[in-house]
Structure 1
Amino acid sequence: MAEMGCIYEENYEVPGKVKQINCQPCLKKDKQTKAAKFCSTCDEFQCLDCANVHYTHAFLGSHKLVNANEARTKQGSCNMKGLDQCDQHQEILKFFCEDENQLCCNTCAIVDHRKCHSVVEFLKVVERSTYRRSTLKNKLEEVRQKANIIVDTIDSSKEKLDEDITEMPIKIRRMRDEVIKVFDELEISVVKDAESFQKETLEKLSMKQSQTMKYLADITTFMEMIDNVYQNGSLIQQYIVDQKMQNDVNDLHKNVDAEYQGLETVTVTFDFDETLKLPPLPVTDYVPGQLSVKFRLSDVLASVDKAMSITPVNCINLKQKNNSEKEPLYSGIDFLADGRLVAVDNNNKKFIVYNEKLEEVGSYQLPYSPQSVAAVSKDEAAVTSGGALKLDILRVNIFNDITLERTIKVATKYGWICRQDDEHFVGGTIDHSTPVRIITSTGEEKDFSINFPKKSYRRNTSACTYIKSSDKVVLTDCDEHTVYIYDIKTNTRVLVKDDQIKEPCGVAVGPSDTILVCSDRTNSIVQISQTGHILTLYQTDMIYPRRMCVSRDKSFLAITNACNGKKTLQKIKISY
């Protein structure tokens, strides 16, 4: 019904007056014509002339027309529930102050808005208003939908919370049963081994005991013979016994003494490793687990990762050494466990070793252009070629002598490599449908249980690393200016895309297992948390930072760039 469109000619507060409803289309033409009909579709009171238009135009034929008096009766019964009263004076609202955009009653208009220039009656406001009640209804409908989503989400969260709480003791009991099963199996295995050891040992002891009993029998026989001869025999007989039995007694003494010197008491015990020994504390003080509370809306949570600070320690210029060489281009760098730095020069096909002062202390000529390098063990490093299907393992001894230890043949081209554990590598592929793969120490290749995007990367358009503590893979996309953080356990990912990251072409695991990214086109290092929050940005003093690595103890960072004529290698101290 036309709540704002029922316009009366007479003052509707004066008793006894007959209310006349005017035609709204005519009012818009500054004509006051008594309304005869009401169209519920047009939501207007209309005179006969305006209403007859419904019969002359076919597209208006479906509109519903009723007598104006019937519509007026229904409209007049609307309960405004006090909305048509002034909050301050409790009078009927009649005016609208256009200067202050407020509804006014008589008192408001006279007392509070007497100095305003445009206080008009509702009639004039409604006549020129383009108000549509659907605007409010649409907004309220949108608000209602959001409110319903909030309620449904909270209900779902309550249900999930109840399920999680219920599942906890079940999980603990399940783990307890698994532990008991492990200890049962341990008991069987240990007892079996102990019994086998006991059997073998008893056999040896029995043989030793049996031999000793023979010695005792011989001793008894010899002593009886000696006693008999010395008591009843002649001197000659005693002399013969001494001579005859001298060697036998000496042998017997030697054998028994050897057994005596090697005499052992055999015992067997079983002790747990220190990692399995619980301290003498109540379980509430030593809980073999962790209660975790997680919120799915990670962007609502403030990151607790600490931003690091960096201090340059040393920097060297990478220059062409002689006419036979090209300008160096380090496509990979990494720290060995003892702090030495290894690098691969893509342009000159070299493997180089630097000491802690960034002094070159060794080099090795490669038969191919190396693409990346990763420290494997204390003195070994793996090198990828990006072209040849292999990984070379080079050994660097304490004298910085470099030798080819072994070659691992693979079936995929790798442009980036890092260490996953003692037996596996993580490799970033080149022109392959799976961007990151696992490589074993024997050359077997397999995929992660991650739904990577179906995209292959050209050489130098992506980099990757692996976070062992949380089992996550980090992948950069230079073309999309994006960093992806994949959680292997949950097969989920966090996408990091920010104006501070332009062409991310190098990545490493930094302090507290945060992620460090070389932003090539902003000449900076960006530190990112594993939840995708940018912790801080460090402006480098080099152009186009390209590759970087972090020492094992997370105390040093090395970085190199790819700017022609201005290539450098820099070592940086990390602190908080």
Structure 2
Amino acid sequence: MAEKGSGNMENNNSDDAVSGRIEQILCQPCSSEDKQTVADVFCSTCDEFQCAECSNVHNTHAFLRNHILVKAKEVKTKQVAFDMKGLDQCDEHQKVLEFFCEDENQLCCSTCAIVDHRKCHSVVEIQNIAGRSASASSKLKVKLHEVREKAEKIVQNAKTSKERLDQDVEEVSLTIRRMRDDVMKMFDDLEVSIAKDAESFKTETLDKLTKKQTDSEKHIANATKSLETIDNVDQNGTPSQKFILEQIMKRQVDVLSSDVDKECQNLETVTISFDFDDTIKLPPLPISYYVPGQLTLKCSSSESVKPITPFDPIVKLTKITSIELEQTGDDVEEPLYPGLDLLPDGRLVTIDNKNKKCLIYNEKLEKVGSYQLSYKPRSVVVVSEEEVALTSGGLYKIDFLRVSKSNEITLNRTCKVTTKYDSICMKDDRHFVVGTYDDTRPVRIVSLSGEEKDFNINFPNKKYHLNTSACTYIRNSDKIVLTDKNDHTVYIYDITSNTRVVVKDDQIKEPRSAVVGPSDCILVCSNGTNSIVQISQTGRVLSSYKLDMKLPYRVCVSKNKSLIAVSSNMNGGRKLQLLKVT
């Protein structure tokens, strides 16, 4: 008799093969009651072979009717579940991860989905989306290989430095001994003193190198273990398990990669030497009066991994193409673009406030897509490869639109908010930084699911009216940039220290919008001087580029900082331009 509840099959073995014998699959529910009934169907959701009688529950209960049944004879084998060793369990509720919240990019168990994500608009079953990103695990593996290679480089550097230190310290002692015959006792004292300093330096440096080596060996072990896990899941796991592992590994790999990259940037070769003073005197003197030489300690970085020195490179802009924004077709008024952003593939998304539209342009600034809105949009930001978010000012909402590769635009979802928002940019993968108007909190944080909160910054008690201020966010240094059009000022707020830099300059007149450019510099649309002004994070004006347009209004920059797009707001002469950044 076959074992209970295990997807039983009676197979033809060479020892007992009988002519004409047919392979039989038994009903699992019946087998659990010690009955041997031939299975008629297989339910992939229940993960069971069932006979006709047992499978009737799918017709009896409404919640089972969406299960997919296939004939048992068409299912040769069932996929064996792969042991994820707890990776597919919710840390908080210890339940299997069955859902994925697309709003907050988070894995959920059934309790998470009901309790923590009930307000989210897109919580889907993992098994329905698990096959979307088949190449993700290979990307993780490539990144882990890179992490391991870099960590191995650090280990090798530490070993070489330790060997060199041994040689250098030994050479110091030998150098001193060569002079011992000439200066006798004084050099005996010198050797003791210098060797002590050298050994102290060696001990201190060895501790650092040993720690660096140990840390990197751990990185190697972690990367190797992660690669083995990915390979095992790729070979044996279900699509859902692969998807779960992918989501978990993304964060782990990013942290691991960041740690190793930091260590790689700080690789250094440590040397030690001893040089005699040219004015050495032979008459013996106490060592406290005269030291005939100097112990020199050097730390030099390898040429291939020179540490990154902060600097403010001057940004140069070159116009690629330009178009006139004229009233055409079904336009009610001359177009006005108060918001624009570049998709990762180079397409430009804009909003037309006057004609209530969201538009797509290609790299030649040819209009390739359009979507009619029911309201006048205020600003737009790219959220992902195929999603953008729009602010709507006084309507108190943020719309999420899907922009397909074929330039079709559709409304995905809407988040209700409690504040009038104008400018918008990404803070991180799950939050926006938004500029307000008619509110004493000029800048706020909004999550992708619509939750609002304030920065811990002492903003002046001032309300900005519509079109008088805009903001952007510098992610790497946790700073907010806020423009004040009427005061001809740009403010740079440091969130960590709760301080600000005030930038006023003759080259900045009526600043309208700002973006983060190359090397995290700030590029500001100066409406009154018809230019793009470059500012450092310390508030220094670095350069100013005169634009071929009147009254520049909004500016955006590509993700790789190689392109910017600018719109203008001059009645009867509005333009849209694309410029190359060098």
TM-score for the superposition, normalised by structure 2: 0.49
Q: Which has the larger radius of gyration?
A: 1
TM-score for the superposition, normalised by structure 1: 0.50
User: Which has the bigger relative contact order, CA under 8 A and spacing at least 6?
Assistant: 2
